[in-house]
Copies of this chain bind each other. A is one copy, B any other.
Amino acid sequence: MKRNLYLTTTPVEEAKAIYLDAIKEDIKPQSENVRVIDALGRVTSGAVYAKYSSPLYNSAAMDGIAVIAARTEGASESTPILLKPETDYVIVDTGDPVRKPYDAVIMAEDTQETDEGMVIRSAAPSWQHIRPVGEDIVEGEMILTRCHRIRPIDIGVLLSGGVTEISVFRSPRVGIIPTGTEIVEPYEDPEEGDIIESNSRMFEAMIRENGGLPHRYDIVRDDYEEIKACVLAAVGENDIVIVNAGSSAGTEDYTVHILREIGEVFIHGVAMKPGKPVILAKVNGKPVIGIPGYPVSAYLAVENFVFPVLRAFTGLKETQSRTIRAVLSRRLVSSLKHREYVRVRVGKVGGRYTAAPLARGAGAAMSMVKADGFCVIPQESEGYEAGDTVSVGLFGPEDEINRTIVCTGSHDLLLDVIADLMSGEPEGIRLSSTHVGSLGGLMALRRGEAHIAPTHLLDEKTGIYNESYIRMLFPGEEMILVKGVKRIQGIMTAAGNPLGIRDIEDLTRVRFVNRQRGAGTRVLLDYKLSQAGISPEEVEGYDAEAATHMAVAAQVASGEADCGMGVLSAAKAMGLDFIPVGEEEYDFAMRPETLGMPEMKSFLRLLSSDDFRSRLEELGGYSLEGSGEIRRIV
């Protein structure tokens, strides 16, 4: 199989329009009847009319007595009237029918029971406290239009209106074919070269959420005939078919060739990033969509190209996600070749939304878990500058973001622990942390893009952590430093320390992996190297950078590097040996007003909680002496 190097790149909207037009004659949404009590979330395929009125009859709107209005005339505080039971009134509860000759209701509170009957002290006009027949729903009235997604209240009203069955769009079946010789089921133990198959399970959930019935096939290996046979079977059994992946131009990317042989391909390649290698095709009158393999590409391709087809079957309408305007914290360069979707974290700091771009790679699925939304760079734009105000389409509710502490700076596993503890609070508060190193965090704090900046920067002259850096970066401003933890930094190396590393001097004879510039751990390394009289050039791998303690640990665990510097908890988490180098102070810098945030109060409370203490003991390498102490830095 030759590579199919040059995909065309049709703009997203154009590709969508071409495709929907090409398949529109083939899409025949079908209806089915369901019981109203089973209809939650289903979509009406036609208007629904009331069978009965509600109320069904004139009924009492209050608990009290039904009376003949004419006989209450003249009643007042000074001239009470005595009504006789059964002739002048009957007792009614709310909802009871009010029959002739009764034509008004007096509330129980306004009556006085005596042995002879009821005493009333004000007249009742006719129709008082009576709900006339059909007040709420009139027989024959249209209750719901077509294409309406059934909510709980609709179920209540439909039943009240005598409707027990409705016609809804049949949920389309969506066949999902995972392909690839290298992919394995999540339940097997993967080996080098294996990729865990996860996309199809994400698709199942996406389709279910959008009114479709997913039907996943077993993994098909990269074999032209096998994939072809599976696609042909799937178009027979489903309304829509997704093939994942093989949609690109690799040596084993058969999908487009197969679809050309057995059907018609309308689009191969769209001007979208991530997500370019999309195939939009039709086989035997059924839409077949080839989706790229990288998880972020896959997600975007399904959203942009499978969902519109799905909606043509389900009657659901596209709803725009809630959009906010946010200030971009970093420059974003994009190409005129495509529309680009950049995942961002959004925070509200000082009344202003800021958007921090996350990893942009198509494979960075974790960045989608962490993201609050997408910033879309249109195809005709070359990107945005830091400080530009951009639109962000949010994944979740806006008020979630308003209850989030934005934490930008140095990485430590304890941030995850606090985030976890905060999530457990009943108020639904969040900690959103981004790892840019200590100095990067303080800069973000200065730009008003973070509430707190975790930092561990040693002043070599004084031996005091963090304070002098804050003074330098926030001249003339009063700042707050909340003391965090003392933690042990050291050299992480393979279990059993096969290279016999003992201290900083040994770094000259091994392959090292470093942290990024501005990271406190790197500052510490530089300090220790200079103390030992070693220049960075002597350390192999000094320029290889990883962004977190865990990323360094992973490099060491995989054998890519012999050692790296980081905290004990990361070494323990990855089963590495650890040679302590020193203890440092990991604190939280913030502006004074941040202390007043309710979310911050929870943060501080959790920092001193027993839960936190015991979780840190489990992680190892921390001391909580002085933790939570608030220092004013001026």
Contacts and interface: CB of A to CB of B under 8 A. Distances in A.
Contacts of A40: 205, 208-209
Interface in A375-404: 395, 397-400
A187 B160 CA distance: 11
A181 to B, nearest CB: 10
Given A47-B420, A146-B423, A252-B93, A153 B369 contact: yes
A444 B143 CA distance: 24
Indicate how many identical chains form the complex: 2
Given A109-B5, A187-B164, A423-B148, A202 B156 contact: yes
Interface stretch (A227-235, A524-532, A551-559, A592-600): A551-559
Contact of A201 (B36, B311, B366): B36
A427 interface: yes
B61 A319 contact: no
A558 B133 contact: yes
A462 B197 CA distance: 77
A197 B56 CA distance: 13
A581 interface: no
A477 interface: no
A580 interface: no
A135 interface: yes
B317 A94 contact: no
A510 interface: no
A226 interface: no
A186 B209 contact: no
A132 B550 contact: no
Contacts of A109: 5
A162 B190 CA distance: 9
Contact of A52 (B147, B182, B190): B190
A94 B293 contact: yes
Nearest to A159: B198
Interface in A113-139: 127, 131-139
Contact of A186 (B162, B198, B312, B550): B162
Given A160-B295, A162-B196, A206 B553 contact: no
A213 interface: no
Contacts of A133: 554-555, 558, 560
B145 A159 contact: no
Contact of A427 (B198, B199, B317): B317
Given A152-B202, A205-B151, A397-B320, A196 B159 contact: yes
Contacts of A248: 63, 94
A182 B548 CA distance: 67
Given A95-B182, A319-B400, A553-B138, A152 B108 contact: no
A633 interface: no
A509 interface: no
Contact of A557 (B94, B139, B152, B159): B139
A499 interface: no
B36 A186 contact: yes
A534 interface: no
A505 interface: no
Given A134-B554, A140-B574, A153 B299 contact: yes
A520 interface: no
Given A140-B550, A420-B47, A558-B133, A198 B151 contact: no
A365 interface: yes
A183 B311 CA distance: 39
Contacts of A148: 423
Contacts of A555: 132-134
Given A93-B251, A135-B364, A363-B131, A155 B205 contact: yes
B47 A201 contact: no
B147 A369 contact: no
A583 interface: no
B140 A573 contact: yes
A608 to B, nearest CB: 20
A54 interface: yes
Q: Max chain B CB contacts within 10 Å: which of A53, A141, A320, A399?
A: A141
A353 to B, nearest CB: 15
A352 interface: no
Contacts of A182: 95-96
Contacts of A473: none
A424 interface: yes
A210 B127 CA distance: 40
A399 B319 contact: yes
Contacts of A206: 152
A250 to B, nearest CB: 4
A177 interface: no
Interface of A: 3, 5, 36-37, 40, 46-47, 52-58, 61, 63, 91, 93-97, 99, 108-109, 127, 131-148, 151-160, 162, 164, 182, 186-187, 190, 192-199, 201-206, 208-209, 248-253, 293-295, 299, 311-312, 317-320, 322, 359, 361, 363-369, 395, 397-400, 413, 416, 419-420, 422-424, 426-428, 544, 548, 550-551, 553-555, 557-558, 560, 573-574
25 contacts: A5-B108, A56-B194, A56-B196, A57-B558, A61-B361, A61-B363, A63-B248, A63-B249, A94-B294, A131-B363, A133-B555, A136-B359, A136-B363, A136-B367, A138-B548, A143-B366, A151-B395, A153-B369, A154-B369, A155-B201, A156-B201, A157-B295, A159-B186, A162-B190, A312-B426
Given A131-B361, A159-B198, 5 more contacts: A3-B108, A56-B190, A94-B293, A133-B560, A152-B299
